Amino acid sequence: MVPFAGYAMPLQYRTGILAEHRHTRESAGLFDVSHMGQVRLSAKPGASMESVARALERLVAADIVSLGPGRQRYTQFTNGTGGILDDLMVTSLGDHLWLVVNAARKHDDVERLNVLIGEECDIEFLETRALLALQGPSAVAAFARLVPESESLSFMRAALWSHEGETIMVSRSGYTGEDGVEVSVSSRGVESLARRLLARDGVEAAGLGARDSLRLEAGLCLHGHDIDTTTTPVEAGLAWSIQKRRRLEGGFPGADVIISQLRDGPPRRRVGLVPQGKAPVREGAAIRSSSGALLGAVTSGAFGPTAQGPIAMGYVASEVAATGTVVEIERRSSWIEAEIRPLPFVPHRYHRS
């Protein structure tokens, strides 16, 4: 158990990080991610859900107005310089929006929502909701043994169902690059649900260590590391999350900076890195050219069990961000060669209809 964002979290279980990682890639890993923040936005009496969506659009870069019931979208809260205050998932459930935000930022996010759009929306911080993530190629089949309707979902779709007298919110999404579901359930019902899932053949518990190595192989950003208030969505390779209308209309914090970078290119880019040797490079390690010019820094680094070697992500100047470029990374007071590689390191296996 380790401290994480104010919680005691499992780094690993009995079998260890490597086994948990591989089991998730091969079958199904169950992650307790109840530390994440969950928020419900709904319309005030006499108002419409479109007004709620437009209010949220003043804070995020994605198109929320066009998000139909049962659909989910990834986006970011941005600041005035285009930096990322937090990244989040937004789900439309018809008569309300359901937000999932990062643990370390959730209280700031809720305060921001209340201050900036609280007069236009009803904002409910769902502090008594827990969250489980069941991930891997066998995950949906295992969950469907308990909730058969869930098998009908495709990637980034969601629904509310009743299970054992509980209202659960299920989305076909996750943070591993694998197929799977994330399930919001009340704190009083989460233990029963977790134990029922762990009783299924092929389902094993997994902790923070495997969650981190899985998301790194999948090329997914971790807020506070790969993205923060100094990085824009364009620099981070997240321009795909900004839909056409928002690029044309703007209207979100830092839109002038972000739209300019979409048009002219950013000064730096997030890239995948494969260092030489067997030892991983770590966050904060400097990246330089073969001539010694400083190019940027590593933001995440670890051994990738499925990639079968050390992998990393970091930022380098745009002019040297091309795949195949050889750079040098500082490791233990020496410099080693690394090659810039495309992300993800391991192909995504999402279930798209």
| pLDDT one-digit tens code per residue, 325-352 | 999 999 988 999 999 999 999 999 999 9
| Residue (of 181, 147, 184, 154) closest to 168 by Cα position | 184
Cα–Cα distance between 182 and 174 in angstroms, integer?
6
Cα–Cα distance between 316 and 271 in angstroms, integer?
7
pLDDT for 30 equals: 98
Report residue 134 as tokens.
């069941």
Report residue 76 as tokens.
């970011």
pLDDT for 353 equals: 78
Q: At residue 200, what is the residue type?
A: R
Question: What are the distances in angstroms from CA 11 to CA 36, 181, 219, 286?
Answer: 16, 21, 20, 27
CB 211 within 8 A of CB 217: no
Cα–Cα distance between 32 and 206 in angstroms, integer?
8
Cα–Cα distance between 70 and 172 in angstroms, integer?
11
Report residue 118 as tokens.
């609280």
* Domains of the chain by start residue, with CATH: 2-217 (3.30.1360.120), 267-341 (2.40.30.110)
Model's pTM, two decimal places? 0.97
CB 328 within 8 A of CB 288: yes
Which residues does 340 contact at the CB level (< 8 Å), separation at least 6?
271, 272, 273, 316, 320, 321, 322, 323, 324, 325, 326, 327
Burial group, residue 353, by CB count within 10 angstroms (0-12, 13-18, 19+): exposed
| pLDDT one-digit tens code per residue, 152-206 | 999 999 999 999 999 999 999 999 999 999 999 999 999 999 999 999 999 999 9
What percent of the chain has pLDDT above 70?
Answer: 100
Which residues does 308 contact at the CB level (< 8 Å), separation at least 6?
none
pLDDT for 306 equals: 98
Instruction: Count CB-CB contacts under 10 A for residue 208.
Output: 20
Instruction: List the chain residues with pLDDT less than 70.
Output: none
Cα–Cα distance between 225 and 284 in angstroms, integer?
9
Average predicted confidence (pLDDT) for the chain: 97
| Torsion, CA 305, CA 309, CA 310, CA 311, rounded to 10 | -80
